[in-house]
Amino acid sequence: MGCTIMMKEKRTVVITGASSGAGRAMATVFAQNGDKLVISSRNLDALTSLAEECELFGAEVLTIEADVSDYKQVINLAAAADNFGPGIDIWINNAGVLAIGEFDVTPMEVSEQVLRTNLLGYMNGAHAVLPYLKKQGSGIIINNISIGGFLPVPYGVAYSASKFGLKGFSAALKTELSRYPNIYICDAFPPFLDTPGIQHAANYTGKSLKPAPPVYDPMRFAQSILKLSKQPKPQTMIGSTSILLRLSYAIFPAITRGIAGAVIRNYLKSAPDIEKTNGNIFSPLPFGNAIHGGWGMPGKPKAHRKYLAGGLLLIAGAVLLMSKSLSQLPKG
């Protein structure tokens, strides 16, 4: 259950990975809410343009170039945010990278950097900001984990390792902080988002990639995060697709993994050939700094309900068939 907390007139919100996609969407939504923003990423040019957009809504904005995989840079980010606030009310761990390809084909240094960014980057953020939150006696850390925290991604082994690791990290941290009732750790699990993330991904398949449909509008996701910042709760599933995928893997893990692998392999057979690339794993790219990636249909909140209904019917049918099969087994 969530709880509504007393709100400052202007909260100080730190967003990592803010230069594109979900991070950029969240910055826009929090700016319209009247919050003070500290936006961070490795791409200073993209941050500068985002700051100008947010300032049009009347927001005060501080831009900080930082790589979350480097703990010293995150320490400096937290110190600058606390000074800008003064104090830090909300810290959103959002920066992330993706590498797609067979595990033994993907260079190990690429997989290592995925873990450094996606897992250690979130740990670096929490470690850097917690002393300020404890001193204040209050604050919120929001982790954008994604459905990848529940559903393993074939051909994205390091990505899955990082997302499953984040669940364990967050669960342990919540338990440790139980004596601080006004410090909240909130995990968000959105489905596949319509962002430029897939365009930035390291790709060792040799094939052009696109996200699996349906994709979710990052602006709707950002609105959900704004709501979470006002009514914090430990875990939030965002979108019907994420609920369906989590349920599917919980009930039929082997079948769900098998289907996911088959879908990806089938797609790769017919996808156009491209050169292999390490994408933005080690440095930002000069393109794809918008909110949307152009894969979906923004602003249609009911579009995914048919997938949820269909998926639940499939699960119910599978359970029924399994029950019948079990009932036909010899007794004794």
Active site residues per annotation:
159
Are 217 and 298 spatial neighbours (Cβ–Cβ below 8 Å)?
Answer: yes
Quote the tokens at residue 260. 């996911």
Between the CA of residue 319 and those of 28, 137, 244, 247, 249, what are the distances in Å? 43, 48, 15, 12, 13
Helix (H, G, I), strand (E, B) or coil at 202: strand
The alpha helices in 120-217, defined as continuous H runs, are: 121-136, 157-176, 197-200
Instruction: Say how far apart CA 246 and CA 240 lie, in whole Å.
Output: 10
Instruction: Say how far apart CA 93 and CA 57 lie, in whole Å.
Output: 23
Instruction: Say how far apart CA 185 and CA 233 lie, in whole Å.
Output: 8
